[in-house]
Amino acid sequence: MESYKDIKAYYRREERYEGLQIVFGDKSENRVKIQNIIEEMTKKHGVEPKIYENCYRDDPCKCAFYIEFEDDYDKIAGDYFEDILCNLGIKKCS
């Protein structure tokens, strides 16, 4: 398993909503790697989360992918997020 630098993850959960934010440097080669892992895990798990990419206005050197499940009745987001984090080498999520 490869470890990626300058990547942080933030998890949020409320009732049936689950979201994962993956923050990385804008000009980093990590962007493509993160995007590929998200696509690979989306196919593997057969899910269709909402996925957004955004850069911070106050710091254009930081960007993030937001992955969201809005009505996660079956709690499928947990395994999906865990696989993404494992593939990114992230052991701790805020």
pLDDT digits (tens, 9 = 90+) for 23-67: 987 666 788 899 999 999 999 999 999 999 988 777 767 889 999
Task: Tell me the C-alpha distance between 48 and 70, whole Å.
Answer: 11
Which positions ≥6 away from 39 have C-beta within 8 Å?
A: none
Query: What's the CATH class of domain 8-88?
Result: alpha beta
Burial of 46 (0-12, 13-18, 19+ CB in 10 A): exposed
Q: What angle do CA 52, 88, 54 make, to 5 degrees?
A: 20
Q: Which pTM does this prediction carry?
A: 0.84
Residue 26: both structure tokens together: 């804008």
Instruction: Give domain limits for the chain.
Output: 8-88
